[in-house]
């Protein structure tokens, strides 16, 4: 009787032991027979279930690893392609600008040497030629800049917006502000953002320049810049790939200029789209397209609130820069939970 | 090219009066610059070493203005050392000195100075000199690292 | 601030249009100048070798304007050669090129160029650049004595 009992228990235990060894060696398809309805049978079922789960997990891990390798390969290929595109755009724009420089320079040389002899229509013809060449050069420069935003790697830094605007006032925008009697006012100190400093500078420069350029007749341009900090991401239906960062900053650049009709609010961000003739306002029509691209690359959004005749408020969102203390607080509170 | 960054000028000059003259003259120019002043060749070398390790207080100069007659290490020795350094040799050095000796002029150009200017007799003349210097180096010419 | 009777500039430039623009610019300058034009690195090197003999036809230049992008011996190689030559190394060489590449700028200064000018896009810009160049090198800077001597013996 005892012998019988021992056999009854020993054999399944032996099978379980052998099974465990096999699984340990990697034979994840191995299962043990469920021979009885008792605790041993239950153990055998559990063992089989565990083996099944293990197999599933291992398969998932393998799949994941494969995906990671593929992703890496795709990223490397993208980087190479990016570099090639960057080089191509650079070379192409450079080579394209050369003949234009000749047209423009020698056109002016011609104007100089012909001096008073060139009258009326002839003079106009020459001017149109030179003007055409100059405009094309501007467009190529803008295209080059636009393409660079897409292909150049972003170096994220903590950017002090107040400082950036201050520098713009002193350097790039100094002449324009003086000419037009324009002023820039920052209502309250703006928060810092995590962004590429060169691109952000360009973004601000373009928006402020527009605010000054499209000024109302007889009224000195006044630019007001303010910030609204949001602690939730901005999610809207028509914005795929939305920034869901915890902290975004919304910056508004408001002007007292001529404003923009509602129907044009989306158009103006498109490449080379201008609302006014070149006689009234110069420019290639790419400034806002560049702004949109910069903001997009940082995972933010850009838009405008404006009424014709009242002025415009251009707004954009960027990831906020967390101060060191905030980071530390976050870390401490997450460890405590 | 980050052209919005101010050009950094390192003045190697021991005379406090001349230091002040240049400082004022540069501040008057249209192109904003950042002026760092050291009083000797040794200090200049130390400064440049610090700038190599990206010390915020010692930004790498885009241009060096160098007096020849200084106590301790003289200007020519400093010039020789700078030009021997594979990294620092890219910074143009303009000699700004009282000496008009042809041997000094010849030697400095042979040591690859990027200009040799005699210190002016009058402040007005000096203003004009600095204006031309600033226009050439900061408006007409590009500089490495700008 | 005295200046030479006549300053000699060697322009090394393969583009005919740019040769003309530089020529025009120097013609407008009040300081008497003689512009020698070499259409490439080889021509320029040959000129400079002849200039060592101190004959009136091929005087040693007081300043060399050098384009970078030229076929054959490019600007970079020529700059290297000039600075390696004991008799020529003291002559200031200023790069005048279309390239705005940071690498080209850095390399040029490393090879001891004394200036790097990106060819201006407008005619006025060209005039201004050449004017500033002249003011700096021939009005406020002292001339290289070894070159000046050769000039005086013309």
> For a pLDDT cut of 70, what percent of chain C falls above it?
93
Gap between the Cα atoms of C81 and A211, Å rounded: 53
For C104, what's the count of Cα atoms within 13 Å in the CB-facing half-sphere?
A: 21
Q: What is the pLDDT of residue A328?
A: 65
Condensed to tens digits (0 to 9), the pLDDT of residues B52-76 reads 988 888 999 999 999 999 989 989 9
Which residues of A are less than 8 Å from C124 in CB distance?
108
Q: Per residue in A178-224, pLDDT tens?
A: 989 999 999 889 988 889 999 999 999 999 999 999 988 888 999 99
Rg of chain C (C-alpha set): 14
- Which comes out higher in pLDDT, residue C139 or A335? C139
Average pLDDT, whole number, for chain A? 85
Integer Cα distance of C123 and A71 in angstroms? 51
* C151 has a pLDDT exceeding 60: no
Residues B112, C114, B103, B36: is their CA dihedral positive or negative?
negative
| Interchain CB contacts (distance < 8 Å): A and C | 27
Chains with 3 or more CB pairs under 8 A to chain A: B, C
For residue C109, what is the domain's CATH number? Answer: 3.40.50.2300
Q: In angstroms, rounded to a whole number, what is the distance separating the alpha carbons of residues A38 and A48? A: 15
Which of A163, A171, A199 to probe the B interface (max B CBs under 10 A)? A171
Q: What is the pLDDT of residue A244?
A: 45
In C69-122, alpha helices (H): 75-84, 102-110
Q: Which domains does chain B have, with CATH numbers?
A: 7-137 (3.40.50.2300)
Above 90 in pLDDT, residue A142?
Answer: no
Which residue did the predictor score with more confidence, C4 or B15?
B15
What phi and psi, each to the nearest 5 degrees, are found at residue A77? -60, -40
List Cα–Cα distances, C14 to A279, C40, C60, C100, in angstroms.
38, 6, 20, 18
For residue C11, give the 3-state DSSP assignment: strand
Strand partners, B93: B64
Q: What is the DSSP letter of C32?
A: -
Contact list in C for residue B98 (CB cut-off 8 A) is: none
pLDDT of residue A9: 79
Burial class of residue B67 (count of CB atoms within 10 Å of its CB; 0-12, 13-18, 19+): buried
Per-residue pLDDT at C149: 67
The confidence score (pLDDT) of residue A37 equals 82
| Distance (Å) of CA B96 to CA B20, B36, B62, B115, B129 | 14, 15, 16, 8, 10
Residue C38 is part of which domain span?
7-146
Q: What is the pLDDT of residue C4?
A: 52
Q: Stretch B113-130: mean pLDDT, rounded?
A: 92
Q: Provide the pLDDT for residue A309.
A: 87
Q: Report the pLDDT value the prediction gives residue A208, as an integer from 0 to 100.
A: 95
Please, what's the b/e burial string for A178-213 (b: 16 or more CB within 10 A of its CB; e: otherwise)?
eeeebebeeeeebbbbbbbbbbbbbbbbbbbbbbbb
Evaluate if residue A237 carries a pLDDT over 80. no
Contact criterion met (CB below 8 Å) for C61 and C51: yes
Q: What is the pLDDT of residues B16-26, one digit of tens each?
A: 999 999 999 99
Nearest residue to A309 via CA among A213, A225, A215:
A215
Residue A326 has a pLDDT of 61
Residue A239's pLDDT band (cuts 50, 70, 90) = very low
Of C24, C98, C121, the CB nearest to A104: C121
Q: Note whether B34 and B142 are within 8 A (CB).
A: no
Interface check for C102 against chain A (CB to CB < 8 A): the answer is no
Give me the number of domains chain C comprises.
1
Q: Do A198 and B32 touch (CB under 8 A)?
A: no
* A171 with B2: Cβ contact below 8 A: no
| CA-CA-CA-CA dihedral for A156, A157, A162, A164, to nearest 10 | -70
pLDDT of res. A322: 63
Out of A94, A98, A105, closest to residue C122 by CB: A105
| Nearest Cα residue to A225 out of A202, A247, A207 | A207
Average pLDDT of chain B, as a whole number: 92
Pairwise pLDDT comparison (B37 vs A232), residue with the higher score: B37
* Interface size, chain A vs chain B, as Cβ–Cβ contacts under 8 Å: 8
Within 10 Å of residue A74's Cβ, how many Cβ atoms?
Answer: 10
pLDDT digits (tens, 9 = 90+) for A33-85: 877 788 888 888 888 899 899 999 999 999 999 999 999 999 999 888 888 88
Residue C151 lies in a domain: no
**In contact, A241 and A202? CB cutoff 8 Å:** no
* pLDDT tens-digit readout, A91-121: 888 888 999 999 999 999 998 888 788 888 8
| Residue B110: both structure tokens together | 């042979």
Residue B5: pLDDT over 80: no
The topology under which CATH files domain A157-336 is: Heat Shock Protein 90 (3.30.565)
Segment among A54-63, A127-136, A225-234, B30-39 with least mean pLDDT:
A225-234
Q: Say what the ipTM of the complex is.
A: 0.94
Q: Which residues of chain A lie closer than 8 angstroms to B4, CB-CB?
A: 167-168, 171-172, 201
Q: Which pLDDT score, from 0 to 100, does residue A240 have?
A: 44
More confident residue, A291 or A117: A291
Q: What would the mean pLDDT of A273-289 be, rounded to a whole number? A: 81
Averaged pLDDT of chain C: 92
Quote the CA–CA distance of A86 and A82 in Å, as a whole number: 6
Whether C152 maps to a domain, the answer reads no
CB contacts of A168 in chain B (<8 Å) are 4
């Amino acid at each position: 009787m005892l012998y019988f009992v021992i056999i009854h228990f020993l054999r399944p235990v032996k099978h379980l032991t052998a099974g465990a060894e096999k699984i340990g060696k990697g034979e994840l398809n191995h299962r043990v027979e469920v021979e009885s309805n008792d605790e041993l049978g239950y153990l055998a079922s559990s063992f089989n279930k565990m083996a099944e789960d293990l197999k599933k997990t291992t398969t998932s891990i393998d799949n994941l690893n494969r995906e990671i390798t593929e992703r890496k390969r795709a990223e490397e290929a993208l980087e190479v392609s990016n570099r090639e595109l960057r080089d191509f755009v650079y070379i192409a724009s450079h080579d394209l600008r050369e003949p234009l420089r000749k047209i423009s320079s020698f056109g002016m040389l011609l104007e100089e040497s012909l001096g008073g002899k060139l009258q009326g229509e002839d003079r106009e013809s020459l001017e149109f030629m030179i003007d055409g060449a100059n405009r094309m050069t501007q467009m190529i420069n803008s295209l080059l800049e636009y393409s660079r935003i897409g292909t150049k790697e972003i170096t994220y830094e903590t950017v002090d917006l107040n400082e950036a605007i201050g520098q713009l006032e002193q350097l790039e925008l100094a002449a324009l502000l003086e000419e037009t009697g324009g002023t820039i006012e920052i209502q309250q100190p703006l928060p810092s953002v995590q962004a590429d400093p060169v691109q952000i500078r360009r973004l601000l420069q373009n928006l402020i320049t527009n605010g000054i350029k499209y000024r109302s007749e007889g009224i000195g341009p006044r630019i007001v810049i303010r910030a609204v900090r949001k602690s939730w991401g901005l999610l809207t239906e028509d914005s795929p790939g939305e920034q869901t960062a915890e902290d975004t900053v919304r910056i508004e650049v408001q002007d007292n200029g001529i404003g923009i009709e509602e129907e044009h609010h989306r158009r103006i961000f498109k490449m080379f789209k201008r609302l006014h003739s070149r006689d009234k306002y110069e420019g290639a029509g790419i400034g806002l397209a560049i702004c949109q691209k910069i903001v997009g690359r940082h995972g933010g959004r850009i838009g405008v609130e404006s009424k014709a005749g009242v002025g415009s408020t251009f707004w954009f969102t960027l990831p906020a820069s967390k101060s060191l203390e905030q980071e530390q607080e976050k870390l401490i509170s997450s460890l405590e939970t | 090219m980050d052209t919005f960054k101010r050009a950094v000028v390192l003045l190697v000059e021991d005379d406090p009066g001349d230091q002040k003259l240049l400082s004022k003259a540069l501040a008057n120019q249209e192109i904003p610059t950042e002026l760092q002043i050291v009083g000797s060749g040794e200090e200049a070398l130390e400064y440049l070493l610090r700038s190599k390790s990206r010390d915020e207080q010692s930004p790498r100069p885009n241009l060096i203005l160098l007096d020849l007659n200084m106590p301790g290490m003289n200007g020519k020795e400093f010039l020789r050392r700078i030009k021997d350094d594979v990294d620092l040799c890219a910074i143009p050095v303009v000699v700004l000195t009282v000496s008009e000796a042809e041997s000094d002029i010849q030697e400095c150009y042979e040591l690859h100075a990027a200009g040799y200017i005699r210190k002016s007799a009058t402040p007005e003349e000096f203003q004009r000199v600095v204006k031309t210097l600033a226009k050439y180096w900061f408006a007409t010419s590009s500089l490495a690292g700008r | 601030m005295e200046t030479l009777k006549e300053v000699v500039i060697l322009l090394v430039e393969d583009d005919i249009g740019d040769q003309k623009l530089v020529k025009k610019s120097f013609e407008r300058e009040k300081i008497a100048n003689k512009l020698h034009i070499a259409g490439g690195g080889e021509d320029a090197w040959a000129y400079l070798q002849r200039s060592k003999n101190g004959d009136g036809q091929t005087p040693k230049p007081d300043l060399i304007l050098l384009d970078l992008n030229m076929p054959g011996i490019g600007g970079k190689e020529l700059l290297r050669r000039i600075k390696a030559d004991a008799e020529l190394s003291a002559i200031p060489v200023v790069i005048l090129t279309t390239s705005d590449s940071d690498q080209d700028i850095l390399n040029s200064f490393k090879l001891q160029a004394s200036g790097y000018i990106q060819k201006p896009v407008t005619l006025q810009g060209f005039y201004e650049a050449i004017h500033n160049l002249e003011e700096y090198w021939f009005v406020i800077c002292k001339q290289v004595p070894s070159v000046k001597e050769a000039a005086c013996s013309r």
